[in-house]
Structure 1
């Protein structure tokens, strides 16, 4: 079944089901988007544009979020937290008169109970530790070990310092196992040091 979604096309902003994304809304068209969402179902669809320019084509997959916490300021701006609910696949962009863009999309039914094998989980945690050491991150590994597989893999996918195209590829993975495998590959790539001079290699 297709669904009409109001979208917030923000480069580099990725939302995964089950996770949260804080946003500061200040542009008039997106203040209108939030006001419209609050008057209806509190839903905003996050999706990345393929280029960081106004009106750029959109990537095919995004994530619908529900407005949770929200602070409305006197000048019309909003601070809010979006709570990821479901991924979606864009069918087509709609011709609309609203200031914000809208699409026809199909929701993707992910398996909320999908889990990694013990070998996959161990391999991921080992690579994550190595990557964190290389990047100089301080991580509470005891807390990490208590996360369920989906919270761990989706959480790292959302916050990892990868470029927008890499994060989009993670979002488009259909299974947690596929996302885990791609995360490991990206951590290995980004964790490389160029010629021992301390420069971090990136996809840029």
Structure 2
């Protein structure tokens, strides 16, 4: 993993809504400050940075790593709301939060360049798919395993990381994993942990 240049990012701090590079995240934008952020992004580079707050309170500190998304699709509603689809571009690390006059928060951040050509070993891929089948069976999920088998390693691991029913801390750990292999290993551990713990709300927790 390498680091690129420093950038200024408009952020959408939303607990539980993680975006991974190469994947899409649909969002309904209704708060005035985030409607303003979307309008600003559409007028500029169409980029919005998704990141989790560390607590569910206004102005809460942010986790250190998020993902920049580009607005790939937008529906502007008559009352000023938006339905958008963000396409994950790059993970980033927050360097500092900026003092701004905009209603939405902004940060100075460093883009993290993931290895787009990274692949799993045959053993890693087989171990992951075996654990994923056990996990899906235990949860009663219907999965098209033939389609899963045709996915490349990056799409598979990032895709499961984004949609898995883990809590915010667990998914943040997945986003922060520096390599594909480490993210895969953590996913396997989380699925194994989840299989041994039946929480009241059906979600695994690292907190």
Q: Which category of TM-score, normalised to the shorter sequence, fits these structures?
A: over 0.9
Counterpart of 2:196 in 1: which secondary structure? coil
Query: Do the aligned partners of 1:45 and 1:65 also contact (CA within 8 Å) in 2?
Result: yes
1:86 aligns with 2:90: yes
Correspondence for 1:56: 60
C-alpha separation between the residues in 1 aligned to 2:197 and 2:116? Answer: 37
SS of residue paired to 1:191: helix
Cα distance, 1:202 vs. partner?
3.0
Which runs of 5 or more structure 1 residues have no equivalent in the other structure?
A: none
Residue 108 (structure 1) aligned with residue 112 (structure 2): yes
Q: Which of residues 119, 139, 146 in structure 2 aligns to 1:142?
A: 146
Deviations 1:163-192 (A, max 9, x none): 000000000001000000000000011122
Q: Secondary structure in 2 aligned to 1:75?
A: coil
Query: 2:173 maps to which residue?
Result: 169
1:187 maps to 2:191: yes
Residue 153 of structure 1 aligns to a residue in which SS?
helix
Match of 2:10 in 1: 6
* Aligned residue in 2 for 1:35: 39
| Preserved CA contact (<8 Å) 2:197 2:204 | no
| Distance of 1:200 and 1:78 partners within structure 2 | 31
* 1:94-133 map, 5 Å: 94-133=98-137
**Equivalenced residues, count:** 201
- In structure 2, distance between residues paired with 1:90 and 1:129: 36
Contact 1:193 1:199 in 2 (8 A): no
Is contact 2:165–2:203 with CA below 8 Å preserved after alignment?
no
Contact 1:189 1:201 in 2 (8 A): no
Partner Cα distance (2:32, 2:124) in 1: 45
- 5+ residue gaps, structure 2, are none
Q: Does 1:202 align with 2:204?
A: yes
Runs of 4+ in structure 1 deviating by more than 6 angstroms, as ranges, are none
Secondary structure at 1:202 match in 2: coil
Where does residue 72 of structure 1 map in the other structure? 76
**Alpha-carbon RMSD:** 1.4
Q: Offset of 1:200 from its aligned partner? A: 5.1
Taking the aligned partners of 1:22 and 1:192, their CA distance within structure 2 comes to 32
Corresponding position: 1:47 with 2:63: no
